[in-house]
């Protein structure tokens, strides 16, 4: 399959010619990892608002927001595809001007019903990067009700622009579509900042699954890494042990040279530890021996089989748009993809997994931590708890009869606030605050480190002064209203 790259009204267009039905998608380089704790969900709101403005159609349509991209997808005859695409472009242009407050209220409600929290796959990300960027996958939207129409318009004007978009078309070209978008640059993401240098590590969760997260290198053909690891985990843990049903994976691009991949292995009841140990053993086996040639050949054969399906062209087109919007030279033919896959060696896969294990985050349900014997002799420290350093400052004692533990104290100074209980310091530095929920006299502090606690005069004498101080010190853009 050959991909034609053209330009239409300043918009990059990637197309594979064909007959019959048309599949098209408008892709924007913006997703959850571009948001912050208090704006999480705003891109999804934009997607809903756009679709709200498109009329009923006989075409097969969908829209989705991934951590990295927003896509509006349509399949049908060239005529009905053109009608829907025209409506999508028109809706995006109109959101550059204004957002209807009532429509926003309705879609906030829909989104709140759709999202009750983050995805479990986000746990390794939040342990590595905190509650920013990739780590937001673990938290989900928390402040949708506070997002105002003008904030949505500003978001649209920043990201839903011509330079930050691409159009893909598989099949006959839809004609008569006004594809103009307001001018604006391509979005360039900064490298996410590590929360801590501790890696590899483990974290105990209550999930009925085991998660393995690791950094993997990016190079020509490296897309096979994730597939080969998934196949090997599936073969060992499901087929070999019979203790798992499925292995899923997800990865996020960190920069030109690295991605962070998470592999989720579900577990039969009571076999969590067995699965965690077996998965670790298989990852070590790949790092020591590399994949068999049969693994590499199988991946190539599976790709060649996909190429026999004309609709697979949509995936190739999205990959081309994905690369273009990330500033990477896109592969414009299936032969390019095959050549990169055939050049991949077992040694490259071995070395990639070997380096990945040095950044490993394992999340499992315990109840006991994994030992060095479980991890093949490798040290696998437990992720640090949400505690912090002791601080000097004014200490507030608890109010009697309020249900607060007798030993609890609230300590604060110019730079931080700490909740102290039974000798443990839960300290939040002001520089690490990513959100502050408000409800009357109560404040709920959220740190990038994952540490959270309430500050309220109902529980601590003199805390009204701390609340007033926090209102001044925490930037207003980080304030959000707590649910009633």
Q: Which residues contact 108 (CB under 8 A, 6 or more apart)?
A: 45, 144, 145, 147
Rounded Cα–Cα distance for residues 131 and 118 (Å): 11
Rounded Cα–Cα distance for residues 73 and 320 (Å): 16
Q: Is the pLDDT of residue 313 over 60?
A: yes
> Among 193, 167, 178, 155, which residue's Cα sits nearest to residue 83?
178
Rounded Cα–Cα distance for residues 238 and 282 (Å): 12
Contact indicator for 99, 188 with CB cutoff of 8 Å:
no
User: Within this chain, do residues 290 and 412 fall inside the same structural domain, yes or no?
Assistant: no
Stated as kind and residue range, the H or E segment containing 348 is helix 346-357
pLDDT-based confidence at residue 483 (cuts at 50, 70, 90): confident
Q: What is the mean pLDDT of residues 210-225?
A: 91
pLDDT of residue 402: 62
User: Within this chain, do residues 66 and 145 fall inside the same structural domain, yes or no?
Assistant: yes
Query: What would the DSSP string read from start to end of 419-478?
Result: EEETTEEEEEEGGGEEEEEEETTEEEEEETTS-EEEE-TTTBTTHHHHHHHHHHHS-GGG
Q: Is the pLDDT of residue 137 over 60?
A: yes
User: Within this chain, do residues 75 and 123 fall inside the same structural domain, yes or no?
Assistant: yes
pLDDT of residue 348: 95
Contact indicator for 68, 31 with CB cutoff of 8 Å:
yes
Q: Is residue 196 part of a domain?
A: no
Q: Which tokens in the block code for residue 418?
A: 């700490």
CATH of the domain at 158: 3.30.830.10
User: Within this chain, do residues 300 and 214 fall inside the same structural domain, yes or no?
Assistant: yes
Are β-strands 165-170 and 22-28 bridged in parallel, bridged antiparallel, or unpaired? antiparallel
Q: Please state the domain count of the chain.
A: 3
Q: Is residue 187 part of a domain?
A: no
User: Within this chain, do residues 358 and 429 fall inside the same structural domain, yes or no?
Assistant: no
Q: Is residue 375 part of a domain?
A: no
Higher pLDDT, 408 or 25: 25
Higher pLDDT, 90 or 222: 90
Q: Round the average pLDDT of the chain to a whole number and report it.
A: 91
> Among 427, 484, 421, which residue's Cα sits nearest to residue 452?
427
Q: Is the pLDDT of residue 139 over 90?
A: no
pLDDT of residue 401: 62
Domain boundary among 323, 348, 364: 364
User: Within this chain, do residues 338 and 458 fall inside the same structural domain, yes or no?
Assistant: no
Q: Is residue 149 part of a domain?
A: yes
> Tell me: the pLDDT tens digits for 246-299?
889 989 988 888 999 999 998 877 788 888 999 999 999 999 999 999 999 999
Q: Is residue 235 part of a domain?
A: yes
Residue 215: C-alpha distances to residues 41, 341, 346 (Å) = 26, 20, 18
3-state secondary structure of 76: strand
Q: Is residue 47 part of a domain?
A: yes
User: Within this chain, do residues 157 and 10 fall inside the same structural domain, yes or no?
Assistant: yes
Burial 212-243 (b: 16+ CB within 10 A, else e): bbbbbebeebbbbbbbbbbbbbbebbbeeeeb
Rounded Cα–Cα distance for residues 401 and 228 (Å): 59
Q: Which tokens in the block code for residue 289?
A: 């021996």
Domain range for residue 81? 4-170
> Tell me: the pLDDT tens digits for 182-203?
999 999 998 888 888 777 999 9
User: Within this chain, do residues 142 and 75 fall inside the same structural domain, yes or no?
Assistant: yes
Q: Is the pLDDT of residue 170 over 90?
A: yes
pLDDT of residue 396: 94
Q: What is the mean pLDDT of residues 30-48?
A: 94
Higher pLDDT, 430 or 111: 430
Q: Is the pLDDT of residue 11 over 80?
A: yes
Q: Is the pLDDT of residue 97 over 90?
A: yes
User: Within this chain, do residues 234 and 360 fall inside the same structural domain, yes or no?
Assistant: yes
> Tell me: the pLDDT tens digits for 367-426?
788 988 888 888 888 887 777 889 999 999 888 766 677 788 999 999 999 999 888 899
Rounded Cα–Cα distance for residues 200 and 383 (Å): 9
Domain boundary among 147, 170, 193: 170
Q: Is residue 325 part of a domain?
A: no
pLDDT of residue 116: 55
Q: How many CB atoms lie within 10 A of CB 157?
A: 14
Q: Is the pLDDT of residue 239 over 80?
A: no
CATH of the domain at 458: 2.30.29.30
User: Within this chain, do residues 35 and 154 fall inside the same structural domain, yes or no?
Assistant: yes
User: Within this chain, do residues 244 and 162 fall inside the same structural domain, yes or no?
Assistant: no
User: Within this chain, do residues 350 and 415 fall inside the same structural domain, yes or no?
Assistant: no
pLDDT of residue 112: 76
Q: Is residue 114 part of a domain?
A: yes
pLDDT of residue 115: 62
DSSP 8-state symbol, 300: H
């Amino acid at each position: 399959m050959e991909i034609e790259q053209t330009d239409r009204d300043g918009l990059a267009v990637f197309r594979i010619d064909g007959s019959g039905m048309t599949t098209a998608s408008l892709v924007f380089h913006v997703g959850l990892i571009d948001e912050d704790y208090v704006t999480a969900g705003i891109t999804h709101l934009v997607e809903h608002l756009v679709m709200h403005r498109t009329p009923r159609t006989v075409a097969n349509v969908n829209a989705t927001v991934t951590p990295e991209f927003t896509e509006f997808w349509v399949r049908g005859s060239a005529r009905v595809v053109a009608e829907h695409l025209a409506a999508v472009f028109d809706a995006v242009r109109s959101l550059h001007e204004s957002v209807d407050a009532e429509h926003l209220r309705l879609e906030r409600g829909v989104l709140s019903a759709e999202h009750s929290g983050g995805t479990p796959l986000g746990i390794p990300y939040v342990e590595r990067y905190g509650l920013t960027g990739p780590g937001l996958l673990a938290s989900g939207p928390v402040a949708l009700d506070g997002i105002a129409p003008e904030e949505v318009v500003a978001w649209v004007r920043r990201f839903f622009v011509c330079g930050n978009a691409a159009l893909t078309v598989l099949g006959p070209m839809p004609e008569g579509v006004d594809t103009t978008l307001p001018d604006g640059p391509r979005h360039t993401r900064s490298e996410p900042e590590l929360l801590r240098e501790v890696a590899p590590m483990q974290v105990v969760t209550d999930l009925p699954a085991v998660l393995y997260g690791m950094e993997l290198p990016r190079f020509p053909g490296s897309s096979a890494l994730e597939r080969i690891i998934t196949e090997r985990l599936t073969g060992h843990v499901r087929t070999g042990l019979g203790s798992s049903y499925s292995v899923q994976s997800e990865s996020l691009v960190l920069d030109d040279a690295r991605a962070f991949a998470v592999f989720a292995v579900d577990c039969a009841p009571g076999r969590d530890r067995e699965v965690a140990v077996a998965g670790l053993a298989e990852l070590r086996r790949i790092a020591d021996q590399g994949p068999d040639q049969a693994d590499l050949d199988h991946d190539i054969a599976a790709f060649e089989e996909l190429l026999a399906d004309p609709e697979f062209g949509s995936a190739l087109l999205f990959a081309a748009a994905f690369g273009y919007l990330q500033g990477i030279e896109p592969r414009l033919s299936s032969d390019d993809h095959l050549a990169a896959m055939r050049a991949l060696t077992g040694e490259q896969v071995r070395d990639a997994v070997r380096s990945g294990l040095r950044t490993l985050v394992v999340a499992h349900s315990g109840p006991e931590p994994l030992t060095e014997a479980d991890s093949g002799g490798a040290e696998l420290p437990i992720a640090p708890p949400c505690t912090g350093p002791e601080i000097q400052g004014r200490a507030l004692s608890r109010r009697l009869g309020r249900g607060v533990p007798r030993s609890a104290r609230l300590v604060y100074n110019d730079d931080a606030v700490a909740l102290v209980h039974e000798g443990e310091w839960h300290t939040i530095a002001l520089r690490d605050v990513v959100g502050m929920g408000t409800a009357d006299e109560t404040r709920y502090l959220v740190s990038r480190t994952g540490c959270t606690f309430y500050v309220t005069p109902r529980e601590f004498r003199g805390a009204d002064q701390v609340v007033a101080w926090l209102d001044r010190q925490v930037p207003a853009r980080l304030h959000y209203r707590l649910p009633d």
